[in-house]
Structure 1
Amino acid sequence: MESRGKKASSFACGMALFLLLGLLLSPSSAELPRFEHPVKCDGSLSFLVVGDWGRKGEFNQTLVAYQMGKIGEQLGIDFVISTGDNFYEDGLTGVDDNAFEESFTNIYTAESLQKQWYAVLGNHDYRGDVLAQLSPVLRKIDGRWLCLRSYILVTEIVDFFFVDTTPFVTKYWSEADHHYDWREVAPHEQYIDNLLKDLDAALKESRAPWRFVVGHHTMRSVSEHGDTQELLEKLLPILQENGVDLYINGHDHCLEHISSRSGSIQYLTSGGGSKAWRGTYTPNADELRFFYDGQGFMSMQVTVASTRIVFYNAFGQVLHELNLGKQVV
């Protein structure tokens, strides 16, 4: 059976879109896998960002997906980013778990969403069979799906750095209430050190005008989970040193925009793909620009000189807009 991903639509200018150009074979000092995605013929990119969604359509996941399809069509999106917690409550049980199709393939059915999905793992994904979620077998079921621990997505105007944040969180390693699949990750100190070294090297190599980092866990958040101290201590200094523009995450089931008071980085939370409404608000040291304790998603339109970010609720209503500029040299 032909997957929905293989039925994907074409370039805005009519050329067939190679959804995944694949691993670049050129040598690099960074060891993170690299993928490439083409920009539109006008040199722009547009995409959606959604997180914390995989509930087999429940908790308004289907409603959010419907609105994503409408906005995706309006913008002519090139791909979708998932910020993790892709399958609740405890990830996938294996490559044959029906939850993959029940929470993904059968939910995001709009024609505009038949594009490549670039995903990271969340803490709930780590409670299941992580290797299944990373397996190419899932791509045969639905060709849109691409999920790895950490990797780089290269385009002409923006480089995306996807970071596996769950192993950073110390409490998960000793948590008694849940099992975590640490295969290929333990010992976590060495894993994190290698990841940070590779990320730093890759950021230093990047020549794209924009640099966006995507992870599951919050770095700055006023909602239930709040700030992730391990990321502030270990990951943030590397982002600041290398001039990262945006840190994009899920984990907290809400929509947020927070601006750093000590630098230019913007923190964007898109974790409203299904269950939300936590009723928690705890300010932090940075500047809160927008907070919506509910369901929704985010769109981004990027050119070499500008980035436009829009937050939507589950009814497709615009809640917040952010426009960033970049001086073109």
Structure 2
Amino acid sequence: MHRKIPFHLAPFAAALALLAASASAGTLYRDPFLQKVGPDTATVAFRLAADCTPEVRYGVGAADQAAVSQDRGKIHAVVLTGLKPGTEYTYEVSACGLRTPAKRFRTAPVPGTRNVHFITVGDFGTGGSNQRKVVAAMVKQRAELFVALGDNAYADGTEAEIQNNLFVPMEALLAEVPFYASLGNHEYVTNQGQPYLDNLYLPSNNPDGTERYYSFDWGHVHFVALDSNCAVGLASADRCTRDAQKAWLERDLAGSTQPWKIVFFHHPPWSSGEHGSQLSMRRHFGPIMEKYGVDLVLTGHDHNYERSKPMKGDGVAAPGEKGIPYLVVGGGGATLRQLPGTKPDWSVIRDNQAYGFLDVKVVDGTLTAQLLGADGSTVDRFTLEKNLPPLEPLPEGELALIVEGERGVAPHQALFRATPSLQGATVTWDFGDGGAAEGEAVDYVFALPGQYTVTATASQGAVKQTATALVQVTRAESPGENPGAPDSGTPGDETPDSGTPDGGSPSGRAMGRTTPPAAAAPRAPRPPSSPRPWPCWPPGACTGAVRKRARRPLPRA
């Protein structure tokens, strides 16, 4: 007599997930991290546990292209070229017969694009639990780039500390968000920061061709990284001099054509924290930054948060004068410290209670920044405004389309924004599942897994412009399943057919002026495992809801 033995999928899926994780761990000594990402290029760096010739597989949606490493041994930095601006790519590392789990990144937008989102913090590289909590909160912001303010590898910036206190605890962030770093005094302890620089692949557009200070553009923002250790006399003359850095900064800022200018480094020119203000940075570099209209200065060093009023020279800028707000964002993970004395008049706010980071969005002529705690709290929020000239009209027939949230887990919320060149045009949306909406900016929730082609159409009379984008939605994982695994289309799962996830009824909702889709197909998606700002739950509770929204961050799936 033969007895049927039941097959349980969950343990099998858990075993596959464990196998994938083991493959990654067995292949790599250091997980992939992103460097020098531009509109059409990106560097994927990693270290192998054994010698072999690896390749990076990448593509839009599927990783169907390959770039083979030109390096030998265990240290690799693979440059991807021919990429599309402002586009989300999937990538994975294939090495020694094994393949890492898929990751994703977004290329820089076309220069001058007036929409930039970045995160920044310093004094985090301890390898401890507070750092990891801050990292987890940063990952959720889905930022385009990460600006690090120094003291990124405590206590001495050794090779082991760089691995264990920077790359290991930050791996989830650095694998998907490009990393732009400045040097802290703790990195300088070992050979003036050279091991730290040897582990990174940063821009080197200064006369010496080093990575100690550099600049780059992202959209309509010009970023400048300075080496304040050099400026305060911690570097030997063969590594860096203050005068050479000052001369370079003046040339760099004078040559920038971007309307927003942000400078970041470690030692704060204005601080009422334990270390206080670094007067050498203020008096040598402040006048240059004021002369060329720098909008914001970001620093660390003191283990707290502080924001100054707009400053000029050695004091607060007079009414009607342009000044520079100076920020200390030093609560990334190292022990928070006491704030001595009372808050000075030039200080708007200071805090030494919350571990957290600064989340910054620059849209057109408005910069909005929030100091977000690792616990989800908002410690500070401020805006900067400037008048920008009108954008040049797009070529006739062109419709610019921005998507935030091209991939996610059902129910998945994505933001769509279309900018038509037709004046006064009406924009309508087809979300590929039968749902529709109207408006230049709309949110839409895809309730079911599938691959959707989203079409925007701008109409003015008989003239029309169209643009399309692809959105990939996977099903929510069961306990023990691999969260990164794509929907397999196995029985019980909905798979796309003719643009709809089940071959029939549409599955989503838009917040804009909408044509409500029909009722969703039978299988309700599982609730997310952690709180997410869905417009409603369960999904069927808000079918047909109408809401127009401004651009804002969405949860990382």
Q: Same fold (TM over 0.5)?
A: yes
Is 1:308 matched up with 2:368? yes
Distance in 2 (CA, whole Å) between partners of 1:115 and 1:291 is: 28
Distance 1:14 1:215, change over 3 A: closer
- The equivalent of 2:128 in structure 1 is 57
Amino acid at match of 2:239: V
Q: What is the one-letter code of the residue matched to 1:185?
A: R
Summarize the Cα distance change of 1:46–1:9 in structure 2 as closer, same or farther, 3 Å threshold: farther
The total of aligned residue pairs comes to: 283
| The one of 257, 264, 267 aligned to 1:207 | 257
In the TM superposition, 1:32-47 aligns within 5 A as 37-38=108-109, 43-47=114-118
Q: What is the deviation of 1:13?
A: 6.4
Q: For each residue in 1:48-75, what CA deviation from the matched residue of structure 2 results, as whole angstroms up to 9, or x when unmatched?
A: 10101111225x11111121122x2xxx
Q: Distance in 1 between matches of 2:143 and 2:170?
A: 14
1:221, distance to aligned residue in structure 2 (A): 0.9
Match of 2:216 in 1: 153
**1:16 and 2:66 equivalent?**
no
Native 8 Å contact 1:253 1:293 kept in 2: yes
| Relative contact order, higher structure (CA 8 A, sep 6+) | 1
Judge conservation of contact 1:50–1:297 (CA < 8 Å) in 2: yes
* Paired amino acid for 2:242: I
Q: Which residue of 1 aligns with 2:153?
A: 87
1:255 partner letter: Y
Partner of 1:107: 169
Tell me the SS of whatever aligns to 1:237. Answer: helix
The question of whether the paired residues in 2 share the 8 Å contact of 1:9 and 1:114 is answered with no
> Separation in 2 of the partners of 1:246 and 1:286?
19
Alignment partner of 1:326 out of 376, 386, 405:
386
Deviations 1:147-173 (A, max 9, x none): 921000112311011110012225x5x
Per the TM alignment, residue 293 of structure 1 is displaced from its structure 2 partner at its CA by 1.0
Q: Distance in 1 between matches of 2:258 and 2:122?
A: 25
Rounded to whole Å, the distance in 2 between the matches of 1:308 and 1:17 is: 29
1:273 to 317, 332, 339: 332
How has the CA–CA distance of structure 1 residues 230 and 79 changed in structure 2, closer, same or farther, with 3 Å as cutoff? same
Following superposition, the deviation at residue 314 of structure 1 comes to 2.6
Q: 1:290 aligns with which of 325, 349, 354?
A: 349
**Change over 3 Å in CA distance of 1:210–1:42 after alignment to 2:** closer
Query: Counterparts of 1:190-205 in structure 2 under 5 Å?
Result: 191-205=241-255
Give CA-to-partner distance per residue, 1:83-102, whole Å, 9 cap, x none: 0011111112xxxx232232
Counterparts of 2:323 and 2:298 in 1: how far apart (Å)?
14
Partner amino acid, structure 2, of 1:196? K
Q: Does 1:66 align with 2:136?
A: yes
Deviation at 1:215, TM superposition (A): 0.8
Rounded to whole Å, the distance in 2 between the matches of 1:232 and 1:323 is: 23
1:37, CA displacement in angstroms? 4.0
What is the CA distance between 1:41 and its match in structure 2? Answer: 11
Map of 1:255 onto structure 2: 305
Identity %: 26
Among 196, 207, 214, the residue aligned to 1:133: 196
Which entry has the higher C-alpha Rg, 1 or 2? 2
Q: Does 1:243 align with 2:293?
A: yes
**Are residues 39 and 316 of structure 1, via their aligned partners in 2, closer, same or farther at CA, if it must alter by over 3 Å?**
farther
SS of residue matched to 2:349: strand
Q: Which residue of 2 aligns with 1:33?
A: none
Alignment partner of 1:4: what SS?
strand
Q: Which has the higher strand share?
A: 2
CA RMSD of aligned residues (A): 3.0
CA contact (8 A) 2:157 2:189 kept: yes
Selected match of 1:234 from 284, 297, 302: 284
Aligned pairs (5 A) from 1:210-225: 210-225=260-275
Structure 1 position 182, deviation (Å): 3.5
Correspondence for 2:458: none
Matches of 2:153 and 2:190, distance apart in 1: 9
Q: 1:304 to 1:99 in 2, by over 3 A?
A: same
C-alpha change, 1:17 and 1:184, in structure 2 (3 Å) is farther
For the 8 Å contact 2:125–2:334, the answer to whether it is kept is no
Whether the 8 Å contact between 2:85 and 2:108 is mirrored in structure 1 is: no
CA contact (8 A) 2:123 2:300 kept: yes
Find the aligned partners of 1:197 and 1:222 in 2 and give their Cα distance: 29
**Contact 1:119/1:148 (CA < 8 Å) preserved in 2?**
no
Aligned-partner residue type, residue 340 of structure 2: Y
Structure 1 partner of 2:96 = none
Establish whether residue 116 from structure 1 lines up as the match of residue 178 from structure 2. Answer: yes
Q: 1:156 to 1:286 in 2, by over 3 A?
A: farther
What letter is aligned with 1:209?
P
TM-score by length of 1: 0.77
Counterpart contact for 1:220–1:284, Cα < 8 Å: no
Partner residue in 1 for 2:239: 185
Q: Is the 8 A contact 2:108 2:218 kept in 1?
A: yes
Kept after mapping to 1: 8 A contact 2:118/2:361: yes
Q: Provide the rounded CA distance (Å) in 1 between the counterparts of 2:175 and 2:326.
A: 25
| Corresponding residue of 1:4 | 32
C-alpha distance in 2 between matches for 1:216 and 1:38:
27
Q: Distance in 1 between matches of 2:358 and 2:279?
A: 25
Where structure 1 has 5 or more consecutive residues not aligned to the other structure, the ranges are 19-35, 140-146, 173-180
Q: 1:318 deviation in Å? A: 0.8
Distance across 2 between alignment mates of 1:46 and 1:231? 27
Paired residue secondary structure (2:183): coil
Using the alignment, how far apart are the partners of 1:107 and 1:275 within structure 2? 13
| Distance of 1:13 and 1:167 partners within structure 2 | 35
What SS does the aligned partner of 1:62 have?
A: helix
